[in-house]
Amino acid sequence: MPTLDVTLILAAAGCWAVAGLLPLAGPRADRGGTFLGVLGSLLGAGAALHALLAPTAPGLSFTFWGAPARIEVDALSAAFLLPLHLVAGLAILYGREYWPLSAPKGSGRSVRVFFASQVAAMTVLFVVRQGLLFLVAWEAMAVSAFFLIQTEHERPEVRRAGWIYLAATHAGTLALTAMVILLAHRTGSLLWNPVTGTGSPLDAWILLLAMVGFGFKMGLFPLHFWLPSAHASSPSHASALLSAVMLKAGVYGLLRVSGLLPTIPRGFGGGLLALGAITAVWGVGNALAQRDYKRLLAYSSVENLGIIAMGIGLGWTGRAIHNPWLVALGFGAALFHVWNHSVFKTLLFFGAGSILHATGTRDMEALGGLGRRMPRTLLLLAPAILAVAALPPFNAFLSEWILYRGLFASLDQGYPWSGGLALVALALTGGLAVVAFARFFGTVFLGNPRTDAAVHAHDPSPTMRTPMAVLAGLCLALGLASPLLLPLLGRAAGGAGLTEPGLLGRGLGHDLRLLTALEALLLTLAALALAWLRRQPAAAERPPTWDCGYAAPTARMQYTGSSFADPWAALLPGRSVRMHRLKGLFPKPHALHIEVQDAVGEGLVVPWFVRMAARAQRLRRLQPGYLSVYVLYVLIALLAAFLWPLLRARLLG
């Protein structure tokens, strides 16, 4: 008899599966599809919240292809189901208008189908506890994402992004398949039950394969190469789902699989910590040089996944040296950042979608002054901008604060070097994120419009604004209510190997309450200062900006985003500048070209992939297209299958 939570989760997955098919029947059924999707999200989010609060984990056992299988909704699953259904429910509402059913070339239908199938696949993914089913759900999720990325497949760069993504995700699946086989060997069954007893040499291989397979999905350096163009190519509400939840499937996998193992071999924690630090710095460094604001957001996802990986690494270190306090801080910070990143990155992608909708361009340098033309978008996006820069009092600051505490605590635990370097990397990441997002916000929303596209921009309709308002409120609420979330985070970290769920609340509760009280004080002081400013009479006439007496400034004289970030972007290894030397007393007009390429992703890994693909073309000769040849293959395979048992005894003795 399945319990309530399991029933609700299965119902949610079912709702989403049907919600994807309804739009095919026409515009009227599309409304029903949206309704079913929202219903599914409400069911899923409700069940997840219930499971987070419940002390026991309900499960359901059954057989699948003759093998025992099990689904279980424990707190770790719930910690990922909650953001999934929050984001998916808001995104389907947003997408109704952002990507209407009547979009050209049938893309309105395909987006709805694959969006819903991806949500259904991920719902299943987060609750299955069996290797084979996990891989099936994983593939369903990955392939749905491929079709979402390929929505505008008539554009060559979109096709390229899609194929690179497909190659990357399947390379990851290959590693995961090997991991599932090894895990089955280790536990004796395909079921994912925690292994008791002592560690075995196999554990290191399982973790290594998990880091590769899930690392592809998380975008861990240097496996992040597929991510920026894939996220820039898909429709914005689908980008939000990919960035806010699909990348986290890798995080879930790492936490789940490592939670099954009895111990974590030494070195893995420090290794993942260092890898996360490199990923974070590399991601934010590339983010601040992008001109395309959706690519900027995608690189910022790389950065944030790096921060999450640092948390997991810290937790693993804690498990390796049997220090529950480090485990609690590391996993707690990672899970909290998963939530926070889901909220603010979804809001940012919705905002990016609204800008794209209003102006039709993804080039930041063509925009400017949108704040006066889209005042509501400006107001709704401001919390996300402050959150992504990890500034108080918004949510991401709190998760980074927990991570800082963990890193400082690890300095005295025999890991001074990885902890110290990660500390510096986290501080540097925060500093550079400020530059990157001051650039984004300033270039797009502030100042004067740089082109006509920006002059005629307007706020989106309430259908698109309402989901953004919900997320903007959550950015602040999660920041101010963080002391209440500590017990939930502790319980969720239990699934990842934290033995004492109450530790996080006991250890951090007092400090976090004082911290949030100070944040409330900050907001109060700001409100008082604003009230004081408002009581002063302002000049009725609004003159142009004082530009040091220059009377006729043009919008082109403003600082551009590229020049704003140039002092830091100039340090990037993948940046090339082409400029002709000016000659003579009266030089002719000249042009300056700056190109930024991800030196590792686009510069090294993608070309290597392309070379491998070219080599793999030789295998195409095996597939000539004649039926008779294929029949021959079948025959050879059959013969081999018959001969093998006969010859085995003779060959192997």
Partner 1 sequence: MPGFLVFPTHVALHLLVALLLPPLIPGLIAKTKAAMAGRQGPPVLQLYYDLARLARKEAVFSRTTTWVFLAGPIGALAAGWVASLLIPFGQTPAPVAFQGDVILFAYLFGLARFLTILAALDTGSAFEGMGAAREAAFSALAEPALFLGFAALAKATQSLSLTPMLLSHGAAGGRLTGPLILVLAGWATVYLAENARIPVDDPNTHLELTMIHEVMVLDHSGRPFALVLYGASLKLVVLGALILDLLLPPTGRPWLDWLGFLAGLGALAIAVGLVESAMARFRMTKVPQFLVAGILASAFAFLLLLV
Q: Can you say how many angstroms the Cα of residue 66 is from the centroid of all Cα atoms in its chain? A: 35
Q: Which is nearer to partner 1, 528 or 616 (CB)?
A: 528
Does 563 help bind partner 1 (rule: CB under 8 A)?
yes
Cβ nearer to partner 1, comparing 181 with 421: 421
389 binds partner 1 (CB under 8 A): yes
Q: How far is the CB of 525 from partner 1 (least distance, A)?
A: 4
User: Cis ω on the peptide bond leading into residue 222 (within 30° of 0)?
Assistant: yes
Using rule CB under 8 A, residue 585 touches partner 1: no
270 binds partner 1 (CB under 8 A): no
What is the smallest separation between the CB atom of 92 and partner 1, expressed in angstroms?
31
Of residues 261 and 334, the one with the C-beta less far from partner 1: 334
Taking the least distance from each CB to partner 1, the nearer of 547 and 595 is 547
Name residues contacting partner 1, limited to 485-514 (CB under 8 A): 510-511, 514
Give the ranges where 22-155 is alpha helix by DSSP (H).
27-53, 75-98, 107-125, 131-149
Q: What is the helix (H) or strand (E) element at residue 629, kind and residue range?
A: helix 627-652
CB 161 within 8 A of CB 149: yes
Q: Which of 285, 442, 490, 495 binds partner 1 (CB under 8 A)?
A: 442
Place of tokens 């005295």: 412
Closest to partner 1 by CB, 521 or 612? 521
Q: With respect to partner 1, which residue has the nearer C-beta, 68 or 375?
A: 375
Judged by CB under 8 A, which of 358, 515, 600, 606 binds partner 1? 515
What CA–CA distance (Å, rounded) separates 185 from 646? Answer: 27
Question: Judged by CB under 8 A, how many residues of this single chain contact partner 1?
Answer: 76
From the list 121, 131, 143, the residue with the least C-alpha distance to 178 is 131
**Contact residue for partner 1 among 28, 104, 201, 412 (CB under 8 A):** 412
For residue 92, give both structure tokens. 């389907």
Q: Can residue 274 be called a binding residue for partner 1 (CB under 8 A)?
A: no
Give the residue with the Cβ less far from partner 1, 191 or 438.
Answer: 438
Instruction: Pick the piece of the chain touching partner 1 (CB under 8 A) from 160-168, 202-210, 497-505, 537-545.
Output: 537-545
Beta strand 575-579 with 592-596: parallel, antiparallel or unpaired?
antiparallel
Q: Stretches 48-56, 75-83, 420-428, 634-642: which one binds partner 1 (CB under 8 A)? A: 420-428
Contact residue for partner 1 among 63, 198, 530, 652 (CB under 8 A): 530
Please give the distance of CA 117 from its chain centroid, rounded to a whole number: 18
369 touches partner 1 (CB under 8 A): yes
Distance CA 110, CA 152 (A): 10
Q: Is 405 in the site for partner 1 (CB under 8 A)?
A: yes
> Among residues 55, 197, 201, 537, which is the contact residue for partner 1, using CB under 8 A?
537
| Location of structure tokens 């005629």 | 456
Can you tell me the distance from the alpha carbon of 81 to that of 76, in angstroms, rounded to the nearest whole number? 9
Closer CB to partner 1, 152 or 519, in the complex = 519
Neighbouring CB atoms inside 10 A of 305's CB total: 30
Distance CA 306, CA 284 (A): 10
Q: Is 416 in the site for partner 1 (CB under 8 A)?
A: yes
Task: Decide if residue 372 touches partner 1 (CB under 8 A).
Answer: yes
The stretch among 20-28, 56-64, 215-223, 370-378 that binds partner 1 (CB under 8 A) is 370-378
Q: Is 592 in the site for partner 1 (CB under 8 A)?
A: no
Q: How far apart are CA 11 and CA 5, in angstroms?
A: 10
Is 579 among the residues that bind partner 1 (CB under 8 A)? no
Contact 88, 112 (CB under 8 A): no
Residue 646 interacting with partner 1 (CB under 8 A): no
| Other CB atoms within 10 Å distance of the CB of residue 496 | 28
Give start and end residues of each alpha helix (H) in 245-323. Answer: 247-260, 268-287, 293-320
636 binds partner 1 (CB under 8 A): no
Q: Does 390 bind partner 1 (CB under 8 A)?
A: yes
Minimum Å gap between C-beta 286 and partner 1 is 16
Please identify, using beta-carbon distances, which residue of 532 and 586 lies nearer to partner 1: 532
Q: What are phi and psi of 579, to 5 degrees?
A: -150, 135
Task: Report if residue 522 touches partner 1, rule: CB under 8 A.
Answer: yes
Angstrom CA distances, 185 to 127, 134, 203, 378, 618, stand at 22, 16, 11, 54, 35
**Using the rule CB under 8 A, which residue among 207, 378, 422, 489 binds partner 1?**
378
Is 452 an interacting residue with respect to partner 1 (CB under 8 A)?
Answer: no
* Among 42-50, 219-227, 275-283, 400-408, the segment contacting partner 1 (CB under 8 A): 400-408
User: Going by C-beta distance under 8 Å and a sequence separation of 6 or more, which residues neighbour residue 229?
Assistant: 157, 160, 161, 164, 295, 298
Task: Determine if 559 is a binding residue for partner 1 (CB under 8 A).
Answer: yes
- What's the sign of the alpha-carbon dihedral 14, 17, 20, 26? negative
Q: Report d(CA 464, CA 471) in Å as an integer.
A: 12
State which residue, 132 or 523, has the beta carbon closest to partner 1.
523
Q: Which residue has the tokens 């500390």?
A: 423
Interface with partner 1 (CB under 8 A), residue from 132, 136, 167, 446: 446
| Tokens 């003779």, located at residue | 650
- The reply to whether 526 sits near partner 1 by the rule CB under 8 A is yes
Residue type at 590? H
Q: Which of 149, 151, 146 is nearest to 103 (CA)?
A: 151
At residue 127, what are phi and psi to the nearest 5 degrees?
-115, -15
Residue 420 interacts with partner 1 (CB under 8 A)?
yes
- Contact between 386 and partner 1 (CB under 8 A)? yes
- The DSSP 8-state label assigned to residue 2 in this structure reads -
CA 156/CA 360 separation, integer angstroms? 18
Q: Cβ closer to partner 1: 517 or 636?
A: 517
Among 194, 375, 414, 573, contact with partner 1 (rule: CB under 8 A)? 375
Q: Which amino acid is at 247?
A: L
Minimum Å gap between C-beta 503 and partner 1 is 15
CB of 548 to partner 1, least distance (A): 5
Q: Binding of partner 1 at residue 365 (CB under 8 A)?
A: no
What distance in Å separates the CA atoms of residue 138 and residue 300, rounded to the nearest whole number? 24
Q: If phi over 0 gives left and psi between -120 and 50 gives alpha, with beta otherwise, what is residue 267?
A: left
The residue among 26 and 544 lying less far from partner 1, judged by its C-beta, is 544
Q: In angstroms, give the least distance from the CB of 568 to partner 1.
A: 7
